[in-house]
């Protein structure tokens, strides 16, 4: 079978959940036995989202090969269990950079370099890159932004050309919004009609429409949209708000979205999707009655997407522990000695979030001290782990003013310090220690028990690191460095074995947690939070 290219565009408004629809489609195709990958093309000019702050762009996701990527790639992995790479996320910035580099190398010698054909050809080349590996039956390409944006025009032009060249090997799925007007008590189809018209003006006829809605859209209304938009009546499906994003694949399948897509792409005799494991997850998710309460301490907790992968990894871990996750946001800037007890007393477990810079850092130390002294299951991730080390240095080792040189370059006790390899780096984009590295775990440690293995590989995104000069002092006082990189001996995991569960990881285990393959350390953390919860109840 030829590789099939599915294009997913969005209209009317942003934030419709193109990533979830793309992921759901991929999930269903994968369950039918196809080899699937999803890629995201983002129309902004940054080379990658690595330099964007969470207010602008939510979480920065990291691929195994060390690419700082759009958070939708996290959804892709969580829904498909297929690893993404640098090739799965392209921005306008990267397209232009490639074209300009080629121009400087003389590849267009004598020609005027233009958006069409040079930029669009570069976009097309990148769209087909993963397909050309021969590793995939389906390549789903999500085009970021909304139809009508100036910046997405070259991408849509590339889709138009490819659609024409690929014929039945391509399919266009367009997502729109059907608003409900409370005053008129009516759902409105006009924005969808306009959005499709806009797409048609650009020469793209969608094959399938997915209508985002808060209310059920009656069949006759879907047929009306089909008629106005030149789409087959059954190819207009609705995506109503779901209690969980993980229900979306099932809802799409019930409306035959995957079947219609196969029909458009002329794929016959496909197997029915095997969603047994997925459905088991959903059953556990819906039948869980008791709660587990986890506090997340960070400076971006008011942003829905800033800790996306942590939220999802925790949710998956709670589900596999048959608990409903009650995630409590705790703003690190607001934690004081006066209120820490009140803020944290109800928590069964506490996560100290990753991050950069000193804002909110003292609150993290206060929360950590409270958690350590009250022996609450505590999980520090990246900066959270570094804070664990600093708090321990200050309050157990008595190293007053101990810090990371990120926060205090002149600290007397640089228990967290810039990595050697980072010292000569001045450029900001893509220059951290990024991607998956091996970590050896000490036999008998809690971390090794959690993973059920003494060798793991997890993804990183940092410049600073535990200072090995202090290792002996920490270990003698009870904080053990139980995980390290086998080549560089960089400390990857610390834990206090005498506590219920007190572990910090320099890496980000949340990136690798998926619905069908949840991350073991999150599962173990939540398990210990549940045990602690039950102990508190008994006492
Ligand atoms: N700011 C810290 C560092 O660069 C931690 C980074 C993170 O939490 N991702 O090492």
Q: What is the pLDDT of residues 142-178, one digit of tens each?
A: 999 999 999 999 999 999 999 999 988 999 999 999 9
| Residue 384 alpha carbon, nearest atom of ligand 1 | 8
* Closest C-alpha residue for ligand 1 atom 6: 462
CA 180 to chain centre: 30
Give me the pLDDT at residue 304, please. Answer: 86
Mean pLDDT by 10 residues, the chain (539 residues): 96 89 97 97 92 88 96 96 95 97 95 96 96 96 94 96 94 96 93 96 96 95 95 95 95 96 94 96 96 96 92 98 97 96 97 95 96 98 98 97 96 95 89 96 98 98 97 98 97 98 98 98 98 95
Distance CA 69, CA 90 (A): 9
382 is annotated as an active-site residue: yes
461 alpha carbon – ligand 1 mean position (Å): 6
User: Left, alpha or beta for 291 (phi > 0: left; psi -120 to 50: alpha)?
Assistant: beta
For 130, phi then psi, to 5°, come to: -70, -35
Query: Which atom of ligand 1 is found nearest the CA of 355?
Result: 8
Q: How far apart are CA 324 and CA 317, in angstroms?
A: 10
Ligand 1 pocket, Cβ-based, cut-off 6 angstroms: 354-356, 382-383, 406, 461-464
CA atoms within 13 A on the CB side of 354: 25
Residue ranges with strand state E in 52-207: 61-62, 68-69, 89-91, 138-143, 170-177, 180-181, 186-187
Q: Which atom of ligand 1 is nearest to the CA of 382?
A: 8
Bridge-based pairing of strands 4-10 and 170-177 is parallel
The pLDDT assigned to 55 comes to 87
CA-nearest residue, atom 3 of ligand 1: 462
Residue pair 355/323 in contact by the 8 Å Cβ criterion = no
For ligand 1, the distance from its centroid to the CA atom of residue 465, given in whole angstroms, is 8
CA of 464 to the centre of ligand 1 (A): 6
Q: Which of 465, 484, 492, 510 is catalytic?
A: 510
Query: What's the CA gap between 77 and 147, in Å, rounded?
Result: 26
Contact 173, 196 (CB under 8 A): no
Task: Tell me whether residue 510 is one of the annotated catalytic residues.
Answer: yes
Q: Which one is catalytic: 172, 265, 382, 439? A: 382
Structure tokens at 232: 């087959």
Q: Which residues contact 458 (CB under 8 A, 6 or more apart)?
A: 436, 437, 439, 492, 505, 507, 508, 509, 511, 512
The dihedral of CA 120, 122, 126, 131: what is its sign? positive
- List pLDDT tens digits, range 186-229: 999 999 999 999 999 999 999 999 999 999 999 999 999 999 99
Look at the chain and count its residues: 539
């Amino acid at each position: 079978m030829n590789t099939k290219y599915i294009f997913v565009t969005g209209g009317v408004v942003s934030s419709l959940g193109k990533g979830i629809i793309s992921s759901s489609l991929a999930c269903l195709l994968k369950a039918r036995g196809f080899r699937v990958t999803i890629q995201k093309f983002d129309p902004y000019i940054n080379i990658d989202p690595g330099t964007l702050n969470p207010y602008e762009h939510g979480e920065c996701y990291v691929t195994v090969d060390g690419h700082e990527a759009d958070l939708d790639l996290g959804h892709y992995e969580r829904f498909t269990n297929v690893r993404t790479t640098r090739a799965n996320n392209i921005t306008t910035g990267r397209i232009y950079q490639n074209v300009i580099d080629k121009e400087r190398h003389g590849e267009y010698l004598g020609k005027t370099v233009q958006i069409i054909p040079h930029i669009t050809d570069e976009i097309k080349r990148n769209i087909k890159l993963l397909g050309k590996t021969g590793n995939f039956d389906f390549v789903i390409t999500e085009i970021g932004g909304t139809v009508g944006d100036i910046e997405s025009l070259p991408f849509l032009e590339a889709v138009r050309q490819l659609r024409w060249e690929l014929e039945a090997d391509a399919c266009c799925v367009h997502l729109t919004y059907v608003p409900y007007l409370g005053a008129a008590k009516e759902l409105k189809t006009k924005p969808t009609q306009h959005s499709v018209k806009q797409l048609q003006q650009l020469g793209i006829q969608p094959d399938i429409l997915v209508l985002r809605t808060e209310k059920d859209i009656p069949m006759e209304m879907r047929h009306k949209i089909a008629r106005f938009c030149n789409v087959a009546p059954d190819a207009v499906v609705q995506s109503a708000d779901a209690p969980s994003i993980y229900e979306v694949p099932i809802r799409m399948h019930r409306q035959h979205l995957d079947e219609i897509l196969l029909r458009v792409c002329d794929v016959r005799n496909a197997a029915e999707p095997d969603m047994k494991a997925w459905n088991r997850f959903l059953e556990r998710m819906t039948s869980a009655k008791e709660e587990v309460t986890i506090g997340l301490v960070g400076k971006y907790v008011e942003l829905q997407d800033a800790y996306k992968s942590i939220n999802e990894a925790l949710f998956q871990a709670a589900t596999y522990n048959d608990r409903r996750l009650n995630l409590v946001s705790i703003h690190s800037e607001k934690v004081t000695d006066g209120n820490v007890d009140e803020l944290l007393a109800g928590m069964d477990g506490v996560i100290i979030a990753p991050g950069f810079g000193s804002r909110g850092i003292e609150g993290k130390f206060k929360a950590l001290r409270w958690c350590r002294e009250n022996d609450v299951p505590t999980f520090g991730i990246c900066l959270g782990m570094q804070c664990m080390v600093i708090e321990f240095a200050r309050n157990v080792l008595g190293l007053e003013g101990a810090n990371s040189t990120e926060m205090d370059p002149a600290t007397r006790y640089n228990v967290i310090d810039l990595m050697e390899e980072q010292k000569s780096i001045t450029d900001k984009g893509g220059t951290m220690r990024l991607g998956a590295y091996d970590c050896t775990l000490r036999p008998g440690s809690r971390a090794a028990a959690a993973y059920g293995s003494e060798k793991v590989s997890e993804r990183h995104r940092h410049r600073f690191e535990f200072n090995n000069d202090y290792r002996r002092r920490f270990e003698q006082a009870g904080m053990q460095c139980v995980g390290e990189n086998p080549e560089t001996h960089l400390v990857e995991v610390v834990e206090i074995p005498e506590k219920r569960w007190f572990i910090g990881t320099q890496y980000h285990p949340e990136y690798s947690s998926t619905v069908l393959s949840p991350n073991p350390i999150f599962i173990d953390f939540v398990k210990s939070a549940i045990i602690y919860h039950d102990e508190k109840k008994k006492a």
